[in-house]
Amino acid sequence: MSVVARVQRASKVVAPMASKALGVSSARSFTGTAPAQNKVTVVGAAGGIGQPMSLLMKLGGKIDHLSLFDIVNTPGVAADISHCNSKGKVTGHKGAEEMATALDGADVVVIPAGVPRKPGMTRDDLFNTNASIVKGIAEQCAKSCPNACFLIISNPVNSTVPIFADVLKANGVYNPQKLMGVTTLDVCRAKTFVAENQGMDVDKVGVTVIGGHAGTTIMPLLSQVEGANFSEEDIKALTHRIQFGGDEVVQAKDGAGSATLSMAHAGAYFADKVLDGLNGVEGVKECTFVDCDLTDAPFFASPCTLGKDGVSKVHGFSGLSAFEQALVDDNVSALVKMAQKGSDFVKNN
């Protein structure tokens, strides 16, 4: 079933005013030849991911208003980035009392807020702290910018995306087309590692990564990489490295941080593609973690077409090798449990 169909099926949880507002927004932004006026808000903009990601987004030149929010330090980050000679104004907002202003009228909200991983920690270890942070952000988003596209980076994505969804549902403004877990870093790593292994031009390597965004739930479809010739050993080693690439960075930084710069690149890249879709660019296709019926898991990453209303089509996957099918069979139940953990948190808090 397509995401569009799921929106229709979910009509009981989408407030009539939200549907009406979507129509108004679409007409306002995409009528005639007038340039789109995009406001993008970064929540967690003063952190290790937020700062470099905000810089990359400013340098991209596609954003009319880059609104930066964090608990502290954001005005300084905004002032610094605003001096870059590229299109778009930058504003900085700090403290809970300024979150509404930062979010008001946003077309896209990118959320890297939360605590980073440290050596020995899994993404799931971050759950209790980051779940509370994400829930609070979702509650304010439901009030200030219910029609925005929400791009979730805060880990563990397999649980924080369901948390965000359930908060939006509780407020009557859930649109599954506009909620996306950012799994782009898994794709970036897959392309990089495959290019190294095969001696290929990384700019010409395409790798589909399905599933989730934690450990073995990250499932690269290496059997479908055009022009590659992998041994069985290559497949196993590359799959494991793609799945646990975050650990590689955490260990290399020796307690000083996690994958912030590569995640900043991935987040800025994906936000750029979402903006392309919103602004009418055709054929934008990226992997992302979305509400879909591809498996028994309520959320699952696969290639999606990004359009004027967010995710316009979930393409799914097919033609898996026996190794890849085994990964799917082994990990769907884990994704179900992680999603349920997020939903249970919303119910109990």
Taking the domains of the chain in order of start, what are their residue ranges? 39-182, 184-338
- 39-182: in CATH 3.30.70.1520: no
Predicted TM-score (pTM) of the model is: 0.89
Which two three-digit tokens encode residue 113?
A: 């807020």
Name the active-site residue from 65, 83, 213, 315: 213
pLDDT value of position 30: 33
**Residue 213 annotated to the active site:** yes
pLDDT value of position 12: 37
pLDDT value of position 115: 87
pLDDT value of position 10: 41
Please identify every stretch of the chain with a pLDDT value under 50, giving residue numbers as ranges: 1-35
- What are the tens digits of pLDDT across the range 283-319? 999 999 999 999 999 999 999 999 999 999 999 999 9
pLDDT value of position 4: 40
Task: Return d(Cα 124, Cα 338) in angstroms, integer.
Answer: 9
Residue 308 CB-density burial (10 A; 0-12 exposed, 13-18 middle, 19+ buried): middle
Q: What fold does the segment set 184-338 form as a domain?
A: L-2-Hydroxyisocaproate Dehydrogenase; Chain A, domain 2 (3.90.110)
The H or E element spanning position 301 is strand 299-307
Sequence ranges of the binding site for substrate = 117, 123, 155, 189
Which two three-digit tokens encode residue 238?
A: 């590359």
Q: What angle do CA 196, 201, 202 make, to 5 degrees?
A: 65
